[in-house]
Amino acid sequence: MGSGTGITNFTEGIVDFAASDAAMTDEQIAKVKEGVVLIPFTAGSIVLAYNLPGLESLKLSREAYSGIFLGKTTKWNDPAIARTNEGVKLPDTAITVCGRSDSSGTTFVFAKHFSTISPDFKSQVGEGTTVTWPTGITARGNSGVAGLVKQTPGAIGYIEYGYAKDSQLSFAQLQNKSGAFVTATPESGAATLNTTQFSGDSLRAWPSDPDGKDAYPIATFSWLLLYKKYDRKEVWEALKKFVTYSLSDGQKFANELGYIPLPKDVVGKSVAALGSIE
Amino acid sequence: MKISSFRVALSLAAVFAAAFSAKAQFTKLNAAGSTFAALIMQRWSEEFSKVPEHPSHLLRSG
């Protein structure tokens, strides 16, 4: 299960609501006869978790992490990695790239970032909730990729920060647009979200390559997909209570679990959007 | 309808369902999607059920 399945099930009307990090496109929204309200309800950073026993700190330049996921950088002691890790003894171990096999919002955000920073990635792999990785192995869900990385020496995979914390996986500092190497933290994620402006009435936006020296390069909102109108009022009553909780008291658990608390102005917009649902 | 209890089911695959019970009456919510957000959704479901106005049992499947 992932965001892609969430969107499909929501569109087919077989669920009461869904969650997706890929939001929905205008074209997808047009297919939902009840109408759609998209509400940002949480946010998080995507980290590159790796399995190199004994190596707890690693810096990956944009060139290095693009090369790894394109299959061009195949060993951990490749000069592209060594250049930014002076004094670190990198092993002569093959890199195993771990990606998602299912239709995934995490993949969507990750590939969108890559396509922004790497023309080669854009032309060879491209964007979408499902992409064909030039190299590596795949698993379903964030927990599946975390598990693959955990059990595969030499592996690297993209997962939401909380899963790396939960699985006690090391993850790399990534080079951002300004050239700084930044660790995923609630603060660096917040710095990324603060660069993001929703366009018009839409509550959709992705900070594909944020400005700012403190901004972590890959962070995203995640959206609830709700119908504009619920025929069964008891369903909407129940759902509204839960969503209201998640946007208020629920936000206090974000840091602890490896998510980014929603900026206050975004909470305000989400609550307002909730009020438009009948 | 007075809501007297709240239940959330959350599978490991991030498919979740919530059920509100007013004595014999249940409203079940079905949902699917993002594994990215599943960790925090799971915590919310646990914590939400502890709130006195929506007391209750946490159900997990998966």
What confidence tier does A170 reach under pLDDT thresholds 50, 70, 90? very high
Residue A162 domain boundaries: 46-188
Query: What average pLDDT does the structure give for chain B?
Result: 58
C-beta of residue A170 within 8 angstroms of C-beta of residue A110: no
C-beta of residue A259 within 8 angstroms of C-beta of residue A162: yes
CA atoms within 13 A on the CB side of A12: 11
Encode pLDDT of B8-37 as tens digits: 333 323 334 444 444 434 567 788 888 999
Which helix H or strand E contains A40, and what residues bound it?
Answer: strand A36-50
* pLDDT at site B27: 64
Encode pLDDT of A7-56 as tens digits: 999 999 999 999 999 889 999 999 999 999 999 999 999 999 999 999 99
Q: Test B37 with A239 for CB contact under 8 angstroms.
A: no
Per the listing, tokens 């309200």 go with A37
Give domain status of residue A132, yes or no. yes
Q: Which residues of A touch B8 (CB under 8 A)?
A: 242
Which residue(s) pair with A86 in the sheet? Answer: none
C-beta of residue A106 within 8 angstroms of C-beta of residue A146: no
A 96-135 near B (Cβ less than 8 A): 104-106
**Which residues are CB-contacts of B24 (< 8 A; sequence separation ≥ 6)?**
none
Give domain status of residue A28, yes or no. no
Encode pLDDT of A117-150 as tens digits: 999 999 999 999 999 999 999 999 999 999 999 9
Q: Test B36 with A44 for CB contact under 8 angstroms.
A: yes
Cα B13 to Cα A1: distance, rounded to the nearest angstrom:
6
> Given B13, B34, B43, which is nearest A253 (Cβ)?
B43
C-beta of residue A254 within 8 angstroms of C-beta of residue B40: yes
Give domain status of residue A23, yes or no. no
Q: Test B14 with A222 for CB contact under 8 angstroms.
A: no
Give domain status of residue A50, yes or no. yes
Q: Torsion angle, CA of B33/B38/B43/B49, rounded to 10 degrees?
A: 20
Q: What is the CATH number of the domain that holds A115?
A: 3.40.190.10
Phi-psi region of A179 (alpha: psi -120 to 50; beta: other; left: phi over 0): left
CA atoms within 13 A on the CB side of A15: 23
* pLDDT at site B53: 67
Cα A225 to Cα A39: distance, rounded to the nearest angstrom:
7
What confidence tier does A155 reach under pLDDT thresholds 50, 70, 90? very high
Q: Test A21 with B6 for CB contact under 8 angstroms.
A: no
Domain count, chain A: 1
Copy the structure tokens of residue B59.
């159900």
Give domain status of residue A194, yes or no. no
C-beta of residue A246 within 8 angstroms of C-beta of residue B51: no
Is A255 an 8 Å CB contact of chain B? no
Give domain status of residue A32, yes or no. no
Least confident of A115-124, A259-268, B37-46: B37-46
> Given A10, A234, A253, which is nearest B27 (Cβ)?
A234
Give domain status of residue A164, yes or no. yes
Q: Which residues of B touch A163 (CB under 8 A)?
A: 39
Cα A134 to Cα A118: distance, rounded to the nearest angstrom:
14
* pLDDT at site B19: 47
The three-class DSSP label of residue B35 is: coil
> Given A6, A143, A234, which is nearest B33 (Cβ)?
A6
> Given B29, B35, B41, which is nearest A142 (Cβ)?
B35
Give domain status of residue A101, yes or no. yes
Q: Indicate yes or no: pTM above 0.90.
A: no
Read off the DSSP letter of residue B38: H
Q: Which of A19, A15, A77 is nearest to A223 (CA)?
A: A19
Q: Test A6 with B18 for CB contact under 8 angstroms.
A: no
Residue B2 reports pLDDT greater than 60: no
Interface predicted TM-score (ipTM):
0.90
Residue A107 reports pLDDT greater than 80: yes
Kindly report the nearest CA distance between residue B30 and chain A, in angstroms. 5
Least confident of A87-91, A201-205, A214-218: A201-205
